[in-house]
Amino acid sequence: MRADDNENPYVPKSATVVAVKNESLETKTLRVRLYKWKAEFQPGQFVQLLLPGVGEAPFCIASSPSDQKHIDLTIIRRGLVTIASHYMRPGDVVGIRGPFGRPFPISRMLGKDLLIVGTGIGIAALRSLILFLADHREEFGEIDLLYGARFPEDLVYRDEMKNWGEKMNVMITLSKASPEWGGLRGRVTDHLDGVVKRESQIAILCGSPLVMRSISHELLRRGLKADQIFVSLERHMKCGIGKCARCLISGGWHVCKDGPVFSLDEISLEAIGE
């Protein structure tokens, strides 16, 4: 059976790389155009990217849901697929499965103040949400975006941050900044004081498991309730539809089906990982 006219969730559909952007030393953003199909996705969902001849890996969609013909994937060099993805050139054909997973709870966020915290490459999973919020700015309260990285060279989306700054309060902090760095210094947890204050705030976190745990801990200590905090988790999902059990986490949740976005009243801090 040809794959282009089926609903087999294992079989990828075709897409073409249309642009590759260098974000930082280790990070590139691949823009792919879907070939004769549309992806109806929401911020927070992920896709499985098949690089022909290399393999498949899950990536959170990093582009605005208003464009269903294109998907941006921001990829850091780490493993097999991610390294190979850095060799992709415009015109290369890839396979895309998805979108999969439970998105960010937009309906719960409407009208509320938002605190978005991303560290490292975790910001990629938040970009879709950030772009969505920028498009629908008037439907939400105050938005604070706190982005932490180690070195200035690690920062991604540098050119876009200015545009985002017009729509929300963007704070960038570096834990290993060079002397020339004029912005905030230290870890994201050092800068929570000014931004965590609101009763009705919703916090959205994405980053390495340890960092997410320490941020969650700080937020809870500052009086946010567990159901106000949402985390986006990373596991090596293989199938994306809850059949391979590779992304099970404590509590019996499948990250691919029930996540990757969880509120902290659903999962324990330990389930985030180390």
Partner 1 sequence: MIRIKEGDLLRLASMLGDMGYRVIAPTEANGVTKFSDFSAGTGIDLDYIRAINTPRDFLLPDGERLYTYRSTATVTSYGLKIRFPTVEGPCPVTINAEYSTPSGRIAFFAIHPCHANAIRYLDRVMLSDPADPYYKARRERSLIVVLECEEGDDFCFCVPAGSWKLDDGYCDILVRRSGDEFLLQPKSKAGEEAASKLNARAEADLLEEKAPKMRSSFSISTSEEMIDRCESEGLDSCTLCAACTVTCPTCYCSDIEDRFHLVDPSNVERLRKRMSCQRRCYSMIAGGNLFIKTKEDRYRWRLKHKFPFSSKAFGISGCVGCGNCIAFCPAGIDMRRTVGRGFKT
Partner 2 sequence: MKAAFYSLTSCEGCLTTLITNLGPNLQALWRIFDIDYFKLVREPVGGEKVPRVDIAFVEGAVVTSLDKKRISQIRANSSFVVALGTCASCGNIAYSASRGVDLKRRALREIEVFEAEPLSSYVSVDFELSGCPVSAEEFTVALLRLLNGIEPKQPDFSVCYECKMSGNRCLLDVGKVCLGPIAMGGCGSACPSVGAPCYSCRGPAVEADLSAYLRTIRRHGIPEGKALSAMNAFTGKKIVELLKDGKK
Q: Which of 5, 40, 159, 274 binds partner 1 (CB under 8 A)?
A: 274
Q: Which of 52, 186, 194, 223 binds partner 1 (CB under 8 A)?
A: 52
138 Cβ contact partners less than 8 Å away, ≥ 6 residues apart:
none
Closest approach of partner 2 to the CB of residue 237, in Å:
19
83 binds partner 2 (CB under 8 A): yes
Q: In what order do the strands lie in the sheet with 184-185?
A: 184-185, 169-174, 143-149, 114-119, 202-206, 229-232, 261-263
Q: 179 is in the binding site of which of partner 1, partner 2, none (Cβ under 5 to 8 A by kind)?
A: none
**Binding track over 38-77 against partner 2, x by CB under 8 A:** ---------------xx-----------------------
80 binds partner 2 (CB under 8 A): yes
Q: Which stretch binds partner 2 (CB under 8 A): 65-73, 82-90, 204-212, 214-222?
A: 82-90
Closest approach of partner 2 to the CB of residue 54, in Å:
6
Which one, of 97, 75, 91, 127, lies nearest residue 18 by Cα? 91
Task: Kindly tell me which of 49 and 177 has the beta carbon lying closer to partner 1.
Answer: 49
Which one, of 1, 20, 31, 15, lies nearest residue 97 by Cα? 15
What is the C-alpha separation between 127 and 196, in angstroms, rounded?
21
37 binds partner 2 (CB under 8 A): no
Task: Kindly tell me which of 84 and 269 has the beta carbon lying closer to partner 2.
Answer: 84
Which tokens go with 245? 């059990």
Closest approach of partner 2 to the CB of residue 248, in Å:
19
Q: To which residue do tokens 């054909």 refer? A: 93
* Backbone phi and psi for residue 246, each to the nearest 5 degrees, phi listed first: -85, -15
Task: Report the site for partner 1 in 156-185 (rule: CB under 8 A).
Answer: none
* Backbone phi and psi for residue 37, each to the nearest 5 degrees, phi listed first: -155, 165
- How crowded is the C-beta side of 54, counted as CA atoms within 13 Å? 19
207 binds partner 1 (CB under 8 A): no
Task: Kindly tell me which of 228 and 232 has the beta carbon lying closer to partner 1.
Answer: 232
Which one, of 62, 43, 57, 49, lies nearest residue 17 by Cα? 49
80 Cβ contact partners less than 8 Å away, ≥ 6 residues apart:
54, 55, 57
| E strands, 93-179, in order | 93-100, 114-119, 143-149, 169-174
Q: Which of 6, 10, 87, 165 binds partner 2 (CB under 8 A)?
A: 87
Residues in touch with partner 2 (CB under 8 A): 53-54, 80, 83-84, 87
Residues forming the site for partner 1 (CB under 8 A): 1-4, 6, 8-14, 16, 35, 50-57, 78-79, 81-82, 87-89, 91-95, 234-236, 238-239, 241-246, 248, 250-254, 273-274
